[in-house]
């Protein structure tokens, strides 16, 4: 076992061309040397570890992660926003933040939660103004990211959401009525046939006032959602709690951890047992039970009994298998080859390796445990490269540990021998994610470590600190993990997914056929103001530098609906329809139609304006809302 430090030996040989490293392939060698020197100089000031020495010739893998102005990154990274309720899109390796996608929050710059459609979506899923997004997991086809969707959880309110990766916008939210905190989130692999929300908080079922102080009667569920349309299919109920989740690669098993098999309600109760579980759900067997009507309906959802004493678990094909692991595990993730599910110990310094195929064969599920490696203190999450290595965050030790998966299966239980390297991170890491780590084909070059604390790493900004997302290059096993950059993050990312850029095909303008509302052209027939009693309906286009009407006259108390289309064909020319003092700001990208409804309850003149700086005459892009007093 080695611990890297700034005086690590560096390779001095010629760069090796690695096809897998697109950055290296693109940048001429001379620029590599320059970039390396700059980083080396900085590193001596900042006291960073794992960077190359200035006066040595960098190896091919000494990548500084810079992307020149005007050039594009090789990967998208989707970072969860935690209790900000959004998802952030970064480029990797630059770590430039490219966009934010509001999900459970409202966001005026994208008009999200301001137009009638997104407002209704948020309202129908509970009407909350926030959520707690932890796990952004992209859809896959044949165990490869297919660029179609990204699924995220809401730990605060028991919901899951779907983000459309053509438009980079949330297009569906489903409320999971039998789940209070939806924590883990992941699709069923290889082809995203189902999406799972993992229920963390044990509650009475239904949670309608019964069993208030009878924790023994509480339970959790794993919820299955059809990805398209995004609707809830069934739940399977367990007695313990459920935490993180990941899918096997062949459509059979879905794994979660449970840290509260004690069914406790206090910290000391939840940590009193020596062991907890990895809970393995046999998805086809559960579907058969649903099909056969072997469920109870709770809140309109079929709930299959997967508890330990369930008769359904005493069949030759149990629905749910419970594997003992050391107390209070946290992350669980399946290796790229689909062979093992690896659970990180959290309170125990080990990762436990479960051989997935054995779950079908053994009578005692504990016989599927084939390895347990001692990695260090506070192991939380494990990611993978393409060369048989696992990388586990150590929350307590503030390190990432790299270890050899097959060596850990060979080694004695509890051995440290499979550990290859440990690298300091800053500080207290939660998740880490390597490029396409949770697919069948990880890229093996970049790793992001999401550190909960940044402490001294950035200029102070008051008592709320940014987090620190650290980028590592992991493509050179000889050089070891190389820390490339620190990136401050607004609170607070938990997990991320890194997707090769060429797997996505984002739209640059809307296709009006993809939208529910009809396109409003500049022709006179399309633009009108219609009154029906005290309801006023306006349809008008918008473009540089005007709206379809320069005045809209209504009466105090009218319910006003304005539908508007941005008729621009040119990408990147956005307009919004903002109404001061009416809390209205609806953004329209090119060819996009949106609608907003409000009550004109304040008489007076209100300047409708465009809040996107769209042209030299942007300030003149205006219309008047004239609200006539009632009497
Ligand atoms: Cu460890 Cu919600 Cu995946 Cu936070 S979770 S770190
Ligand atoms: Cu349109 Cu500013
Ligand atoms: Ca426990």
The domain ranges of the chain are 42-503, 512-628
* 531, 535, 540, 546 alpha-carbon torsion, rounded to 10°: 100
Look at residue 64 in the predicted model and tell me its pLDDT.
Answer: 86
CATH superfamily of the 512-628 domain: Cupredoxins -  blue copper proteins (2.60.40.420)
CATH architecture of 42-503: 7 Propeller (2.130)
In the predicted model, is pLDDT for residue 337 greater than 90? yes
Task: For residues 273-296, give the mean pLDDT.
Answer: 98
CA 537 / ligand 1 centre spacing (Å): 46
What is the C-alpha to C-alpha distance for residues 212 and 210, in angstroms, rounded to an integer?
5
**Protein residue with its CA nearest to atom 6 in ligand 1:** 430
Q: How far is CA 576 from CA 238, 426, 610, 631, in A?
A: 48, 41, 5, 32
More confidently predicted of 22 and 409: 409
- Read off the pLDDT of residues 262-276 as tens digits, 9 standing for 90 and up: 999 999 999 999 999
CA 565 / ligand 2 centre spacing (Å): 13
Collect all residues with Cβ–Cβ distance below 8 Å to 557 and sequence separation of at least 6: 534, 599, 600, 601, 630
Selection from 194, 143, 204 nearest residue 339 by Cα: 143
Residue-by-residue DSSP string for 269-313: HHT-SSEEEEEEEEHHHHHHHHHTT--EEETTEEEEE-STT-GGG
Q: Name the closest ligand to CA 573.
A: 2
Q: Which atom of ligand 1 is nearest to the CA of 431?
A: 6
Give the pocket of ligand 2 (CB within 6 Å). 575, 610, 612-614, 618, 621
CA 73 / ligand 3 centre spacing (Å): 42
What is the C-alpha to C-alpha distance for residues 102 and 81, in angstroms, rounded to an integer?
9
Determine if ligand 1 sits within 6 Å of the CB of residue 380: yes
Q: Name the closest ligand to CA 577.
A: 2
Handedness of CA 286, 287, 289, 294 (dihedral sign): positive
**Protein residue with its CA nearest to atom 1 in ligand 2:** 575
Look at residue 240 in the predicted model and tell me its pLDDT.
Answer: 98
Look at residue 3 in the predicted model and tell me its pLDDT.
Answer: 42
Collect all residues with Cβ–Cβ distance below 8 Å to 144 and sequence separation of at least 6: 436, 439, 440, 441, 503
CB-side exposure of 361: number of CA atoms within 13 Å?
Answer: 8
Task: For residues 55-72, give the mean pLDDT.
Answer: 69
In the predicted model, is pLDDT for residue 413 greater than 70? yes
Q: Which atom of ligand 2 is nearest to the CA of 543?
A: 1
Task: For residues 254-267, give the mean pLDDT.
Answer: 98
Task: For residues 506-531, give the mean pLDDT.
Answer: 98
Extract the tokens encoding 534: 């005290």
Q: Which atom of ligand 1 is nearest to the CA of 135?
A: 3
- Read off the pLDDT of residues 37-51 as tens digits, 9 standing for 90 and up: 334 333 333 333 334
User: With 0-12 CB in 10 A as exposed, 13-18 as middle and 19+ as buried, what is 216?
Assistant: exposed
CA 566 / ligand 2 centre spacing (Å): 10
In the predicted model, is pLDDT for residue 528 greater than 90? yes
Other residues' Cβ atoms within 10 Å of the Cβ of residue 491: 13
Look at residue 17 in the predicted model and tell me its pLDDT.
Answer: 40
Collect all residues with Cβ–Cβ distance below 8 Å to 576 and sequence separation of at least 6: 111, 585, 586, 587, 588, 610, 611, 612
Q: How far is CA 157 from CA 130, 177, 236, 300, 427, in A?
A: 9, 9, 19, 18, 29
Look at residue 52 in the predicted model and tell me its pLDDT.
Answer: 40
Look at residue 35 in the predicted model and tell me its pLDDT.
Answer: 38
User: With 0-12 CB in 10 A as exposed, 13-18 as middle and 19+ as buried, what is 243?
Assistant: buried
Determine if ligand 1 sits within 6 Å of the CB of residue 249: no
The confidence band for 62, taking pLDDT boundaries of 50, 70 and 90, is: low
Determine if ligand 1 sits within 6 Å of the CB of residue 452: no
CA 256 / ligand 1 centre spacing (Å): 13
More confidently predicted of 37 and 228: 228
Element containing residue 583 per DSSP (H, E): none
| E-assigned strand segments in 349-398 | 350-355, 369-374, 379-384, 389-394
Q: Which atom of ligand 2 is nearest to the CA of 573?
A: 1
What is the C-alpha to C-alpha distance for residues 160 and 231, in angstroms, rounded to an integer?
10
Task: For residues 314-326, give the mean pLDDT.
Answer: 95
Mean pLDDT taken over the chain: 92
Q: Considering only 7-16, 253-262, 311-320, 591-600, which range has the smallest mean pLDDT? A: 7-16
What is the C-alpha to C-alpha distance for residues 471 and 450, in angstroms, rounded to an integer?
9
- Read off the pLDDT of residues 456-490 as tens digits, 9 standing for 90 and up: 999 999 999 999 999 999 999 999 999 999 999 99
pTM of the model: 0.90
Specify the DSSP class assigned to residue 96: -
- Read off the pLDDT of residues 148-197 as tens digits, 9 standing for 90 and up: 999 999 999 999 999 999 999 999 999 999 999 999 999 999 999 999 99
CA 331 / ligand 3 centre spacing (Å): 14
* 528, 534, 535, 540 alpha-carbon torsion, rounded to 10°: 30
Selection from 480, 486, 485, 487 nearest residue 7 by Cα: 480
CA 327 / ligand 3 centre spacing (Å): 5
In the predicted model, is pLDDT for residue 33 greater than 50? no
More confidently predicted of 17 and 329: 329
Name the 3-class secondary structure at 390.
strand
Determine if ligand 1 sits within 6 Å of the CB of residue 430: yes
Query: Would 42-503 and 512-628 be classified into the same CATH topology?
Result: no
Whether residue 93 has a cis bond before it, omega within 30° of 0: yes
Q: Degrees (nearest 5) of the Cα angle 313, 317, 319?
A: 45
Task: For residues 484-511, give the mean pLDDT.
Answer: 98
CA 606 / ligand 2 centre spacing (Å): 17
What is the C-alpha to C-alpha distance for residues 396 and 197, in angstroms, rounded to an integer?
28
What is the C-alpha to C-alpha distance for residues 601 and 388, in angstroms, rounded to an integer?
65
Task: For residues 516-538, give the mean pLDDT.
Answer: 98
In the predicted model, is pLDDT for residue 104 greater than 50? yes
The confidence band for 140, taking pLDDT boundaries of 50, 70 and 90, is: very high
The confidence band for 145, taking pLDDT boundaries of 50, 70 and 90, is: very high
């Amino acid at each position: 076992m080695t611990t890297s430090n700034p005086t690590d030996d560096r390779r001095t040989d010629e760069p090796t061309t690695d096809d897998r490293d697109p950055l290296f392939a693109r940048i001429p060698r001379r620029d590599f040397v320059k970039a390396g020197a700059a980083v080396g100089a900085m590193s001596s000031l900042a006291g960073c570890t794992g960077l190359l020495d200035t006066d040595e010739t960098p190896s091919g893998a000494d990548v500084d992660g810079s992307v020149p102005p005007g050039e594009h990154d090789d990967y998208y990274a989707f970072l969860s926003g935690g209790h900000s309720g959004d998802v952030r899109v970064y480029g990797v390796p630059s770590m430039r933040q490219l966009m934010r996608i509001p999900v459970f929050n409202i966001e005026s710059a994208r008009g999200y939660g301001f137009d009638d459609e997104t407002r209704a979506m948020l309202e129908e899923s509970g009407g909350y103004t926030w959520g707690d997004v932890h796990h952004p997991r992209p859809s896959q086809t044949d165990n490869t990211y297919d660029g179609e969707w990204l699924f995220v959880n809401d730990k605060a309110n028991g919901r899951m959401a779907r983000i459309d990766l053509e438009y980079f916008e949330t297009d569906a939210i489903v409320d999971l009525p039998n789940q209070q905190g939806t924590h883990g989130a992941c699709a069923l692999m290889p082809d995203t046939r189902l999406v799972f929300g993992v229920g963390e908080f044990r509650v009475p079922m239904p949670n309608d006032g019964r069993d208030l102080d009878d924790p023994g009667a509480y339970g959790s569920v794993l919820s299955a959602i059809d990805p398209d349309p995004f609707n809830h299919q069934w739940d399977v109920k367990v007695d313990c709690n459920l935490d993180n989740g990941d899918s096997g690669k062949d459509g059979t098993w879905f794994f979660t951890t449970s840290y509260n098999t004690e069914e406790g309600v206090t910290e000391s109760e939840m940590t009193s047992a020596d062991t907890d579980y990895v809970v393995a759900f046999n998805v086809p067997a559960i579907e058969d039970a649903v099909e056969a009507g072997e469920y109870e309906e709770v809140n309109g959802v079929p709930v299959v009994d997967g508890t330990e004493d369930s008769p359904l678990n005493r069949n030759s094909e149990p629905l749910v298998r419970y594997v003992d692991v050391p107390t209070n595990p946290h992350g669980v993730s399946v290796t790229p080859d689909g062979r093992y599910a690896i659970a990180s110990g959290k309170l125990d310094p080990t990762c436990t390796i479960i051989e997935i195929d054995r779950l079908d064969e053994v009578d005692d599920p504990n016989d599927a445990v084939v390895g347990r490696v001692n990695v260090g203190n506070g192991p939380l999450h494990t990611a993978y490269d393409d060369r048989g290595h696992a990388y586990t965050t150590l929350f307590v030790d503030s390190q990432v540990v790299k270890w050899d998966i097959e060596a850990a299966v060979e080694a004695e239980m509890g051995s440290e021998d499979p550990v290859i390297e440990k690298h300091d991170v800053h500080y207290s890491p939660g998740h880490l994610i390597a490029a396409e780590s949770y697919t069948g084909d990880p890229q093996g070059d970049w790793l992001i470590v999401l550190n909960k604390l940044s402490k001294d790493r950035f200029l102070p900004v008051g008592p709320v600190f940014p987090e620190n997302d650290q980028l590592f290059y992991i493509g050179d096993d000889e050089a070891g993990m190389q820390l490339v950059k620190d990136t401050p993050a607004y609170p607070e990312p938990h997990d991320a997914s890194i997707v090769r850029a060429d797997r996505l095909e984002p739209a640059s303008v809307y296709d009006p056929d993809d939208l529910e509302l009809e396109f409003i052209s500049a022709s006179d027939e399309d633009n009108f103001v219609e009154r029906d009693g005290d309801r006023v309906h306006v349809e008008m286009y918008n473009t540089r530098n005007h709206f379809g009407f320069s005045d809209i006259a209504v009466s105090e108390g009218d319910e006003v609906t304005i539908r508007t289309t941005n008729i621009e064909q040119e990408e990147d020319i956005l307009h919004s329809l903002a109404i001061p003092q009416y809390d209205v700001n609806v953004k329209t990208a090119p060819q996009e139609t949106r609608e907003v409804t409000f009550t004109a309850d304040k008489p007076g003149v209100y300047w409708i304006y465009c809040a996107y700086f769209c042209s030299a005459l942007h300030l003149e892009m205006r219309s008047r809302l004239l609200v006539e007093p009632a009497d």
